[in-house]
Structures are given as C-alpha cells and as structure tokens.
Amino acid sequence: MTKYVIQGGRRLHGQVAVSSAKNAAVAILAGTALTEGLCVIDNLPRISDITVQLEILRRLGARIRMLNANAMEIDCSRLRSSKVLDDELARQNRASYYFIGSLLGRYKTSQVCMPGGCNLGVRAIDQHIKGFEALGANISTKNGCVVAEAPAGLRGAHIYLDMPSVGATINIMLAAVRAQGMTYIENPAKEPHVVDLANFLNTCGADVRGAGTDVIKIRGVRTLHGCNYSIIPDQIEAGTYIAAVAACGGEITVNNVIPKHLDCFATKFTEMGVEITDLGDAVFVKRVKSLSRANFKTLPYPGFPTDMQAPAVAVLSIADGTSIINETIFSSRFRYVDELRRMGARIQADGQIAIVEGVSCLTGAKIYACDLRAGAALVIAGLAAFGITEISGIAHIERGYESFVEKLRNLGADIRREEYPDIEDIEGINA
C-alpha cells in the first residue's frame, strides 16, 4: 500500500506550475476518435485518468506515439472497433463514457461499459441518453454496457438539458459534430473544459459555436481532420494550491493559469484572508491575515465549483467562526468529513449541508482519501496540522494531480510518498 506521509506545520513559499486540465484532456482524447488524421495533443497531464483514455484509444486501434512526457501523437485514421469492450478498463475513470458519444458520432454505433469515477452519490446519465436519442440513436443496456445505434445516421436536434451537466454537454457535442444538420444544446454546462473541447473540435474542422454561453450550436460536418492542440491549464489544480496557502500560510506564485477561470473561487478565498494577484498567466497568492469563516454554495460554472468544495472546507475547518456549505451538484460529496473529524475538525454534515465550526488547529492522524478532491482536501489538512498525517487511498489523488508530492515539496511542504506492506503481505500474519 502506498501512503502520503506529511509532517504538518510548514508555511509554503516559491513557485508551482499547474498542469493541464484533467477534465478537458479526457474529453479531448475521446474527441480524437472522431478524427481521421494525426492529432498531436500537447500538455497532457501525467495522471492515471489520462493513461486510461490512451489505453482505450489504443485498444480501439489508434496508433499512439509519445513525443515527450506530456505530448502524444494520436492517429485514429484506422480505428478497428466502435466497442470499448473491457468493463474493467471503462470502470477505471468517469470519462470512458465520452467514447459513447465520439464513437457514435463517427460510426453511428458504439458499445461502452458503464464508467467508474469518484463515488459522489448518484451519477445519472439520463441527459446523455436523452441527447443521443434526440439525435436519432436507439439506446439500450447490454451486459453492463450502453449500446447506442443509429442505423439511419444521426440528425441534428434541439436538446434542452434538465441541468447543465458537464458530461452530457460533452457527450452530446461529441456525437453531434458529425451529425447531419444543426444541433442546439440548450442549458449546457459552461465550464472552461467544455469550451476547450469545442475549440479542439473546431481546430479539427468542426463547426461548434456558443460553447461557454447558454446555447451551443453545432453544424454537423462530414469528417474531422487531425490537428495540433494544447490543452488549457487546470483551474482546480490551481485552486488546490491556493487552498494550501490559505491553510498553511506563506506566499506562492502559481504559474500557468488563466486567472479568469479562477474567479469562481478566488473571491471566496479572498474573503477567507488570502490575497490573490493577477499576473497575466500566473497568480501571486499570499495569506494576509488569520482565516475568516465564509459560506458558499456549489453551483455550475461560473458558480463555486463542486470540485473545490472539499479543499475549501479543509481550510474553513481552521478558520475563525462557523461556515455553512451547501453542496448542490452531487448528492454525497461530504464523505471525507469523517476523516477531517479524526484530525480534530468540528464539522456536521447532513445531506447537502455541512456546518464547519473552525478550530484553532488540526492534529495529524491516519486517514483515508475516499475520492480525488477529498484526497486533495486531506493533504491540505495534513500540511496545516500539527504532527504527522498518513493518508491512504492515494490512487484516487493520483488520478487527477500530476507530480503532487514533488510540487508540494518544492513549495517547502514536508510530504513524502511511502510504500507500506499490505497487511496480508506481512509474513506470518495469516499463518
């Protein structure tokens, strides 16, 4: 078993470079399956969610060549199959389900096993299905896989989403770019990664307009060619380092960011006592006073992102006063609170609401990361706590953060990755 071991209590100083956006990269990799030329995708983060998308492409018959640690040349001109057969593989991340849309868009048929991803409560896909059906596909479930078939081809349609789902917006966009005629996605998600996918598709010859607004308009094209594309920086990774400075104190420069993408949470951290200065493609972050309480509600972009909820709660657990947090996106995204309580946090979570009564300090403990952003929150708590924190379940964290330990160590944090024998591997334990 691998753990992070953290000696808390150090202020953070120095510079950190943010990697590219996981949630853009996973969608764009699925989008390469729509193209019939060479795609060179630059700035891919080295994280396990990306490895899974590349492996799916490889098994579909894509030829993939690594150009450097973060750049891949992907040739999907001769995909062998429109089936993502391996249930085990599809379950390794959430974004495997983007191949339902992209393969359906290209081959008018796809078969993809149900995805995995973080356990955040119910993660329905009814809006994806509604969109595919509106485009003319028949959808069924067979042996745990979604089977999508459109023998007569896909036709553009008006699709109104019941909620601005990131996954449904992306999946429908992937299916619609090669459909016949116009598709309108109303009430779509407006997250930066949705816009980045649209930009990638347009660079490949698609005609997608309005991504980031209330209506996405897609005029179907017959084919898509390859392109060279560089993915946007990860707003949530940037936010994680901002939260770490808020919790630990100190001052850092976060490089490779689009400051506008950080507005949705930066003002909240400012309210807590952190100064964030826009430097163009970087931000300077400094905790300027003792932490203050703050209330927030998670909302679709440009509201406060659900992916920053846990890191922000870790900070508020040591702020002056009581904060009220309302999680409106996922039904069960406070499971990590029990772990923070082991560290001395005073948090009551009931359904979608958490009440965080700030304490003067947290103390190190042995804790478990139950999902990606929960894991980031526990690391932040461990960095700010007195004593030693050991975090297990770090595979969740490494699905989404590239070189997390190295980057934090460069900022002066005392964190290391350690291998421990699993209990059943200890000689004689089962004798």
Least distance from ligand EPU to the Cβ atom of residue 372, Å: 4
Which of 79, 104, 159, 166 touches ligand EPU by CB under 6 A? Answer: 166
C-alpha separations of 388 from 8, 65, 283, 363 in Å: 6, 42, 30, 8
- Residues that are catalytic: 118
Least distance from ligand EPU to the Cβ atom of residue 331, Å: 6
Binding of residue 115 to ligand EPU (CB under 6 A):
no
Q: Enumerate residues 397-416 that contact ligand EPU by CB under 6 A.
A: 400
Q: Enumerate residues 126-145 that contact ligand EPU by CB under 6 A.
A: 126-128
Which of 10, 94, 178, 396 touches ligand EPU by CB under 6 A? Answer: 94
> Which of 360, 313, 320, 362 minimizes the C-alpha distance to 336?
313
- Nearest residue (CB) to ligand EPU, 196 versus 307: 307
Q: Enumerate residues 278-317 that contact ligand EPU by CB under 6 A.
A: 305-307
Question: What would the x/- binding string for ligand EPU be over residues 63 to 92, using CB under 6 A?
Answer: ------------------------------
What CA–CA distance (Å, rounded) separates 194 from 188?
9
Binding of residue 192 to ligand EPU (CB under 6 A):
no
- Nearest residue (CB) to ligand EPU, 95 versus 134: 95
Binding of residue 53 to ligand EPU (CB under 6 A):
no
Least distance from ligand EPU to the Cβ atom of residue 21, Å: 9
Which of 157, 175, 248, 372 touches ligand EPU by CB under 6 A? Answer: 372
Binding site for ligand EPU (CB under 6 A): 22-23, 26, 94-95, 118, 122-128, 163, 165-168, 189, 305-307, 329-330, 372-373, 400
